[in-house]
Amino acid sequence: MGKDITDILNILPHRYPFLLLDAILEESPGEIVGVKNVSFNEPFFQGHFPGHPIMPGVLIVEAMAQAGGILAFSFLPEKEKNVMYFMGMDGVRFRKPVRPGDQLILKLKLLKRRGPVFKMKGEAFVNDQLVAEAELMATVDPVKSSE
């Protein structure tokens, strides 16, 4: 079963203009498939690049990381009492440019979990063609109460 934007907003702390997921299409133990609809109205297209708009690769990786965050949170009983931090990325490769009008399909698979640390393999596709891939690491940290 998937998740719509309302569900995503209830899980991730990200908001416009940095929320880079539109929906979760599929979830299974240790795997997730998300979607990012790439619109010309994205604020980064103003400067990347005028007359030749290309989605920045770091934002493709961030979209993968956000889907991976939802995957990692699925293993936690008290999501609202934790925050997820991006720790690292390895083997990042950009295969094809992503342009306005593309739909990014983000596939994440859990490779390993050791305590609060998650390692995942992420792949991004447009029209069934691999456009980016990376191994991502994230950690969960309990939210500190302000009381």
- Which amino acid, one-letter code, is at 51? G
Structural Rg of the chain based on CA atoms: 15
CB contact at 8 A, 136 and 67: no
**Edge-to-edge, what's the strand order for the sheet holding 31-37?**
23-28, 31-37, 103-114, 117-126, 129-142, 82-94
The structure tokens listed for 61 are 């990786």
Burial group, residue 117, by CB count within 10 angstroms (0-12, 13-18, 19+): middle
Of 48, 96, 99, 121, the active-site residue reads 48
48 is catalytic: yes
The structure tokens listed for 121 are 């393999």
Active site residues: 48
